[in-house]
Structure 1
């Protein structure tokens, strides 16, 4: 039986992938390489491993406290006074992260597509789109996430396939000329 309030494992995987891949994954290696040279990939890899560990930790806590929200089980684990501080730090982190994502997306849009549009309008529309996206249920967000990831994979496959036939060094070229 399908429960409308739950999401499938495929939707969860798509949701995790699409939330981890964004403007930061595309811009962090460039920003880091200006400071650390060609070894910036290590910091991105370590950050990715750390993110996966945090996801597993959140998943395990969710399994242990299935009826409580994350804010409520923080109170259960560390107590009320420290829990208030931890939840406040989570809220500040989420706000800072949301602002950074909105600014990053707006910066990319301003540089590449909408260079005549005022920057504050782009930031405002980023927040409006985020609020509209976050307003429905988790199930509908994961369905959109699954659709976006599917389109991303199809687009990447088209780009890869279209690049296979280019040049004399391609695999396709060698395979065709080996058989004849």
Structure 2
């Protein structure tokens, strides 16, 4: 089945995603006490679902969202939420109940998320401004939010990084860069990077 690579920029979130043609558009918009997640039909504009997810009961004040990924089996959505003191949390959104759950603190400044095709691995990335583990790729435990580094990113200057998993070739794609952009893919079997080229 043909896939298209799409990038969505909404409030504080850049999402790079391989999606089926006409599969719909997901937009996350952050607000003070939570977030609105809307899934729209791209042809009619009709909302498949749209609703607020409150996170004010988590015990911290949200600042921004920095990543969004949909589990390919359960269709639950996962996001990175940065609070006002600078901690990064892994959040799960249940689109059936509109409940949000704080899985835990990531321990890394994750800015992008992507599931593999079966949903058993969640990948995350950091950017150039992430401190000790900047420009890195991680696997993330969706039960504990523990992030484990698996490789470095080939980013030229490291800003604006995001990732996506392509189920057609089983590779992880990375887009990054500010003054100089790069588009690369990681073979997860050999752990080698290939330059795709900037469109």
The structure carrying a bigger helix percent of its residues is 1
Same fold, judged at TM 0.5 (above): no
Larger radius of gyration: 1
The interval holding the TM-score normalised by the smaller chain is: under 0.3
Report which structure shows greater RCO (CA 8 Å, sep ≥6).
Answer: 1
For normalisation by structure 1, the TM-score amounts to: 0.23
For normalisation by structure 2, the TM-score amounts to: 0.21
The structure carrying a bigger strand percent of its residues is 2
